[in-house]
Chains A and B, each alone.
Chain A
Amino acid sequence: MTTTARPQEVGRTTVETTYREALREAIREALRADDRVFLMGEDVGSYGGCFAVSLGLLEEFGPERIRDTPLSESAFVGAGIGAALAGLRPIVEIMTVNFSLLALDQIMNNAASLLHMSGGQFNVPLVVRMTTGAGRQLAAQHSHSLEGWYAHIPGIRIVAPATLEDARGMLATALRDPDPVLVFEHGSLYNMKGTLDAAAGAVDIDRAAVRRPGEDLTLITYGGTLGKALDAAERLAADDISAEVIDLRTLRPLDDATIIGSVRRTRRAVVVDEGWRSGGLSAELSARIMEQALFDLEAPVARVCSAEVPMPYPRHLEEAALPQVETIVRAARDVVG
């Protein structure tokens, strides 16, 4: 398990890469390793993927396995479910999370429910990838962070790769899962550059990771806000506040052991979530900490979430609506007192 932000070991061969390329390499490897795997979605082929994740794969694997679909989210997500039932291992790409709402019936009523409704007969080994999050001035309908909603639903696993290692390694593990896995890729991460172990491969999709160890409080986050939380921790360190940063990685099922273990030790927690506060994932995390570690806390759990507003277009308002390094630092200072 990865336990630090940059886990390279001296002497190992590394490659320069991006989050986008790491995702592409993961898809390529999966297609090579298993004939049952195919990629399906809007513009994944000739266009190369809306965010260029699948660029070049059509040429390498052909139109049967890099399958462009019509703009029919419900049909092609449902088709992914059906194909999974019939023995294939589809990777379905939904361009962005807001479009996934058009397939919500299939995701919730079929993918998440079929195994249970059928008394254990029909599992759905399906992977759905989608882009999530704000920060690119895309306004109200293209800036959602709905992974917390999806994490409400029993029967699906929700993962959010926030690092190059996870972008490279989560897909392989998700494809081996006998049940549906939804992968949320934050739109601001695609261009993230860094080095990756040349031999990087499958990673677990069960456990949260401590990306920065600390003693005075725990910042709990995932996905697009991991970088902001790490920057906040750096700023806090300058003031002699030692913040531990947890990357949830998997939003359902939550890794209570890592979260609660950290909070029991640091006795203070700030949840950073780009989703809305009301009824959201941050509320769930806060409740779990209250249920399992109330008497270890020195301060109430704090939350830094997005403002409860449909995302406005202008940069200054969008920035004001989103969790920022400054707001995380302020919340951390408040709980430390």
Chain B
Amino acid sequence: MSTRRAQEQRRREHLTGLLRTMLLIRRFEEACAELYSAARIRGFVHLYVGEEAVATGITAALGRDDWVVSTYREHGHALARGLPLDAVMAEMFGRQTGVSRGRGGSMHLFDRAHGFVGGNAVVGGGLPLAVGLALADRMQGRDRVTACFFGDGAVAEGEFHECMNLAALWRLPVLFCCENNRYAMGTALAKEHAETDLALRASSYGVAAWPVDGMDVLAVEDAARRGVEDVRGGGGPVFLELRTYRYRAHSMYDPDRYRDKDEISAWKEHDPIDALCARMRQDALLPDGTRERLAEEVACLVDAAVEVAEQAPLEPVEDLTRFVTSEVEPEVVAG
């Protein structure tokens, strides 16, 4: 095989992988909506439909040892990062086999093996953690990057500004991934921010920052690779403003009264999955039937995950108060 053909094949495999991840996230989220509506899962459930390109593109640029700090809208981040589908679904059902033993639920997915430091239900609450993870990595001479997801709403929080300043001041290896989906719950961007150019806000702290089309997975991946390279190279933090949109309401509780249907339809014209398929077709990288086959494959996996989760054991009530304090002896330090 010629080098060119080998390159083309690698590219096809890579793009097919991105497509599959986005399809998996979308199917997972649709299943969650169905399960929630049928009262089979509970709690606050915040869906990521429409925003798949962001998680998929960012995580594609990360290394195995890098950290990911997430938000309450985190199913997509977790799946893109490679957390096992069955364990993520089991968490929705509050089962012992869930990524957080069922104790976290939709908003608190954690997986140490994947460097996934959880979803945070408090807007902006993950940013200081990301700063600290990065500080420890730098102090210990590791070249890890911490990717920290948060939304446009978090930019109005004090913690955002404290963390931009601190990360820039100490030149910490954080990739700040601002998912600007234009709404802080039900409040539109222009109603919550005096200056709606969020990259500009971040750059005022001396952080390299730029906007990215968050509906284009390749643009996201490209920006993330540039960002990760800068950050890992010791250039200090980078802020990406990923302009995206959620198709569904803020959470399953939200009646979605604050935006009109035309706006949602207009954004669906820029659907990230359709956009990637169009691009692949244009480059002759998407054989007929591939999208449908992948969609069918992930649907089967999600269905199977639901079945497995529903059969999985629950945490015993006797263990209610476990994990309040650690179940290890205090360490003995020499000296």
Which residues of A does B touch, CB under 8 Å? 32-34, 38, 64, 69-70, 72, 74-88, 90, 105-106, 109-110, 114-123, 154-155, 157, 172-173, 175-179
- Residues from chain A with Cβ under 8 Å of B134 in the complex: 82
Contact, CB under 8 Å: A69 / B166: yes
Chain B, interface SS category: loop
Distance of B314 from chain A, by nearest CB (Å): 13
Contact, CB under 8 Å: B110 / A82: no
- Residues from chain A with Cβ under 8 Å of B166 in the complex: 69-70, 72, 75-76, 79
- Residues from chain A with Cβ under 8 Å of B159 in the complex: 74-75, 78, 105
* B128 contacts the other chain (CB 8 A): yes
Contact, CB under 8 Å: B335 / A116: no
- Residues from chain A with Cβ under 8 Å of B101 in the complex: 119-120
Distance of A87 from chain B, by nearest CB (Å): 6
- Residues from chain B with Cβ under 8 Å of A155 in the complex: 324-325
Known contacts A74-B159, A117-B118, A179-B325: A32-B128 contact under CB 8 Å? no
Contact, CB under 8 Å: A79 / B326: no
A-B contact count (CB 8 A): 164
* B100 contacts the other chain (CB 8 A): yes
Q: Whole-angstrom distance between the alpha carbons of A199 and B127 in the complex? A: 42
Q: Whole-angstrom distance between the alpha carbons of A176 and B335 in the complex? A: 13
Q: Whole-angstrom distance between the alpha carbons of A117 and B110 in the complex? A: 8
Cβ contacts A to B, 27 pairs, < 8 Å: A34-B335, A70-B166, A72-B162, A72-B166, A74-B162, A75-B162, A76-B128, A78-B132, A78-B159, A82-B129, A83-B133, A88-B136, A105-B122, A109-B121, A109-B122, A114-B118, A115-B323, A115-B324, A117-B103, A118-B118, A119-B98, A119-B323, A121-B110, A122-B110, A123-B326, A176-B332, A178-B325
Contact, CB under 8 Å: A122 / B112: yes
- Residues from chain A with Cβ under 8 Å of B120 in the complex: 109-110
Known contacts A70-B162, A119-B104: A78-B333 contact under CB 8 Å? no
Q: Whole-angstrom distance between the alpha carbons of A34 and B133 in the complex? A: 19
Known contacts A74-B158, A79-B166, A176-B332: A119-B102 contact under CB 8 Å? yes
Distance of A245 from chain B, by nearest CB (Å): 28
